[in-house]
Amino acid sequence: MRRVYLDHAATTPVHPEVIAAMLPHFHNSFGNPSSIHSFGRESRQAVDEARELVAKILGATAREIVFTSGGTEADNLAIQGVALAKKGQGRHIITSQIEHHAVLDACKYLETQGFAVTYLPVNAEGQVQIADVLAAIRPDTILITIMHANNETGALQPIREIGRLAKEHKITFHTDAVQAVGSIPVNVDDLGVDLLSLSAHKFYGPKGIGVLYIRNGTKLKPLYHGGGQERKLRPGTENHVGVIGLAKALELATTEMDTKQAKIKALRDKLMGGLLAIPEVKLNGHPEERLPGNVNVSIRYVEGESLILSLDMQGVAVSSGSACTSGSLDPSHVLLAMGLSHGEAHGSLRLTLGQDNTEEDVDYVLGILPPIVLRLRQMSPLYHKR
């Protein structure tokens, strides 16, 4: 059976060149980067070179790069770290209703610790409005954290404009760029951010390694204590193999990015067109201002999880914003924030394309999906009552 992976927003396979770059560091250059003998020095040098490369690609300096265990830890270090460092100045944080749970739950936790959080709404296209950000700013606002691109709809957020606003009001600005990095150009000065999170496994690197970019001068307290690594902001023996894999993956993803992403976008547009040609299917998220590989649709009268399982039986991997797949009772908080009904959110499907997808993959999915939708609809009482 043909297998088609269309869930690149969940994770990506590790690129063969990334594996090749990592391999020798498991057993040959395996030293602890903190050791002063030759084994340690080799690892230290590899980590330093990787840090330089990552910094260069993001438009940062090497000392502004802190390696973490991934996107979740980078988000928590940014949000809780600023809260700890600046709680004497104020206790108000601005975020949005469509953030990843790594951001939302860190903010919810801070609410239990005496912080106030404003969760900004989004418009029907899934985008935060700059006027809402401005209106939410208070004298005691210490942090704004708004994601660069949404993981469910791919909707791009007005990060540059928010960056300008944050700077004017001298508020620290963090963006969760986990979905953006590797898909669209990301430069920390261009965006005007003080803190930026990224994660290697979303751009063909290994899982369990990420970065928090921290602009020089940004006040931040560590969440862990125990060693001097990563300028004491993230102590613990460096995952040097992961660091090397992350840097290689970032280098590969950002080389000829335009060409690679144009190919993905062309396939995405074909897939989107085919899906929207099915009756009573509507697009979720902004039609243009979205990640090149993302399609998110609501298919009326069907359940997302039934679709996922039916597609899976035919080798196609996708995801949904329906409740069962998100592991909670409520359907996607992102789709609900955009004003979708529970029914529309339950019937949503997210298909995210990547570098290895082909036109044949898209044709295959567009061939099998309409009959699946028809079969599921015929089992739905609502469909017959319409």
Ligand X SMILES: *Cc1c(COP(=O)(O)O)cnc(C)c1O
Residue 211 in the binding site for ligand X (CB under 6 A): no
Pick between residue 71 and residue 81 the one whose CB is nearest to ligand X: 71
Amino acid at 213: Y
By CB under 6 A, the residues from 232 to 261 that bind ligand X are none
Q: Is residue 179 near ligand X by the rule CB under 6 A? A: yes
Q: For residue 208, with 0-12 CB atoms within 10 Å meaning exposed, 13-18 middle and 19 or more buried, which class applies?
A: middle
The yes or no reply on residue 100 touching ligand X (CB under 6 A) is yes
Question: How far is it, in rounded angstroms, from Cα 215 to Cα 79?
Answer: 14
Residue 116 buriedness (CB in 10 A; 0-12 / 13-18 / 19+): middle
Note if 324 is an active site residue.
Answer: yes
According to the binding rule CB under 6 A, does residue 348 interact with ligand X?
A: no
Instruction: Count the site residues for ligand X by CB under 6 A.
Output: 15
**Residue (of 373, 192, 224) closest to 300 by Cα position:** 373
When the beta carbons of 157 and 218 are compared against ligand X, the nearer one is 157
Whats the size of the chain, residue-wise? Answer: 386
Find the shortest distance in angstroms from Cβ 199 to ligand X.
3
Smaller CB distance to ligand X: residue 242 or 331?
A: 242
- The dihedral through the CA atoms of 9, 121, 184, 284 has a sign that is positive
Query: Cα(117)–Cα(144) distance, rounded to whole angstroms?
Result: 10
Tell me the two tokens of residue 282.
């509507």
Pick the catalytic residue from 324, 356, 370, 380: 324
Encoded one letter per residue, x for contact with ligand X by CB under 6 A and - for no contact, window 118-147 reads -----------------------------x
- Candidate list 104, 107, 178, 345; residue touching ligand X; CB under 6 A: 178
Q: Which of the stretches 172-180, 183-191, 257-265, 273-281 binds ligand X when contact is defined by CB under 6 A?
A: 172-180
- For 39, the token pair is 């084994």
Name the minimum Å distance from CB 179 to ligand X: 5
CB of 175 to ligand X, least distance (A): 10
Kindly tell me the sign of the dihedral angle through the C-alpha atoms of 55, 105, 97, 311.
positive
Beta pairing, strands 116-120 & 92-96: parallel
Judged by CB under 6 A, does residue 182 bind ligand X? Answer: no
Q: Which of 163, 192, 210, 292 binds ligand X (CB under 6 A)?
A: 210
Interacting residues of 34 by C-beta distance below 8 A, sequence separation 6+ = 40, 44, 227, 228, 229, 237
Q: Provide the minimum distance between the beta carbon of 73 and ligand X in the complex, in angstroms, as a whole number.
A: 7
Q: Which of 102, 107, 243, 297 binds ligand X (CB under 6 A)?
A: 102
Which of residues 29, 72, 80, 96 is near ligand X by CB under 6 A?
72
User: What strands, in cross-sheet order, belong to the sheet with 65-68?
Assistant: 65-68, 210-214, 195-199, 172-176, 141-145, 92-96, 116-120
For the CB of residue 155, give the shortest distance to ligand X in the complex, in Å: 12
- Which one of residues 95, 118, 151, 357 is an interface residue with ligand X (CB under 6 A)? 151
Alpha-carbon torsion, ordered 48, 49, 54, 55, to 10 deg: 70
Comparing every residue's Cβ against ligand X, the nearest one is 71
Of the pair 72, 306, the CB lying nearest ligand X is at: 72
- Which amino acid would we find at residue 250? L
Restricted to residues 32-71, the positions that interact with ligand X (CB under 6 A) are 70-71
Residues designated as active site: 324
Q: Using CB under 6 A as the criterion, which residues of the chain lie in contact with ligand X when the complex forms? A: 70-72, 75, 100, 102, 147, 151, 176, 178-179, 199, 201-202, 210
